[in-house]
């Protein structure tokens, strides 16, 4: 285990590292994982934080770890093979989980929540993912980093509460999310999200809007989703994506 808040390289050529242990500790604390929970760990890397998740859920829980990169997924599978409550899957994190779960922890930046994250979060469930825009590209043109916020979402019977856990930098994920919704003008969409991030008012976010009916006061407004300053007060539309 790593007991110091230091960054260790995992794939130097792609700028992939273990992230900030202190940031992950804060995120895992915010998820309030209970014994017996089902957890989806999206972008598990080599499985370090997956192992911690498995300890939090206990033998009665289940952690499904998804990793897009085949080499990292293979490493995670070998590193975690002795954990009976973990299954490792090599695949696109934006199409997982495929069944309802209690907690979703995403370890790559995305410019919007994936449909599967929203639809397969149980009522009472919690989701954390880095919301941001890519700011840097490595020389091999594969890996990017992103600047944004760590977004916390909790599903309620009437919709989705949301709040920012603070600013963050994360690796930009690979997979279908990087296409950023073919329905959008990608450049315009990312510019609007970047403008929202630069307002430094993310601490005022209170709810996640789904559907086209915008609230009166929003931190970010997409065509079919947004982040509102207004507290959750009524059911969200199912018209999403």
Digit-coded pLDDT (tens) for 186-210: 888 999 999 999 999 999 999 999 9
pLDDT category of residue 3 using cuts at 50, 70 and 90: low
| pLDDT of the residue at 174 | 75
Per-domain residue ranges of the chain: 9-182
Cα–Cα distance, 19 to 9 (Å, whole number)? 9
pTM of the model: 0.88
pLDDT category of residue 47 using cuts at 50, 70 and 90: very high
Asked if 155 and 125 touch (Cβ cutoff 8 Å), the reply is yes
Strand (E) or helix (H) holding 52 = helix 48-57
pLDDT category of residue 160 using cuts at 50, 70 and 90: very high
Cα–Cα distance, 212 to 203 (Å, whole number)? 23
Whether 104 has a pLDDT exceeding 80, the answer reads: yes
More confident residue, 230 or 176: 230
Cα–Cα distance, 135 to 56 (Å, whole number)? 34
Cα–Cα distance, 179 to 184 (Å, whole number)? 10
Cα–Cα distance, 71 to 53 (Å, whole number)? 21
Kindly report whether the peptide bond that precedes residue 97 is cis, defined as omega within 30 degrees of 0: yes
Q: Which CATH number fits domain 9-182: 3.40.50.150, 1.10.600.10, 1.10.510.10, 3.30.450.90?
A: 3.40.50.150
Mean pLDDT of all residues in 135-162: 82
| pLDDT of the residue at 5 | 59
pLDDT category of residue 182 using cuts at 50, 70 and 90: very low
């Amino acid at each position: 285990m790593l007991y110091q808040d230091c960054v260790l390289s995992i794939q130097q050529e792609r700028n992939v590292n273990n992230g900030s242990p202190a940031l992950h500790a804060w995120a895992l604390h915010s998820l309030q994982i209970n014994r017996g929970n089902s957890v989806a760990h999206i972008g598990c890397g080599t499985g370090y934080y997956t192992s911690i998740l498995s300890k939090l859920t206990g033998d009665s829980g289940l952690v499904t770890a998804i990793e897009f990169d085949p080499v990292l997924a293979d490493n995670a599978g070998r590193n975690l093979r002795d954990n009976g409550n973990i299954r490792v899957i090599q695949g696109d994190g934006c199409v997982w989980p495929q069944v309802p779960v209690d907690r979703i922890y995403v370890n790559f930046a995305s410019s919007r929540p994936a449909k599967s994250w929203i639809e397969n979060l149980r009522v009472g469930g919690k989701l954390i993912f880095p919301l941001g825009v890519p700011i840097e590209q490595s020389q091999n043109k594969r890996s990017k980093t992103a600047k944004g916020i760590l977004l916390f979402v909790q599903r309620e019977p009437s919709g989705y509460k949301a709040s920012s856990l603070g600013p963050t930098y994360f690796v930009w994920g690979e997979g279908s999310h990087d296409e950023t919704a073919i329905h959008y003008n990608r450049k315009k969409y990312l510019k609007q999200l970047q403008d929202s991030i630069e307002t430094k008012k993310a601490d005022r976010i209170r709810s996640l809007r789904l559907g086209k009916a915008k609230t009166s006061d929003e931190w970010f407004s997409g065509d079919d989703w947004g982040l509102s300053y207004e507290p959750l007060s009524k059911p969200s539309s199912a018209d999403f994506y």
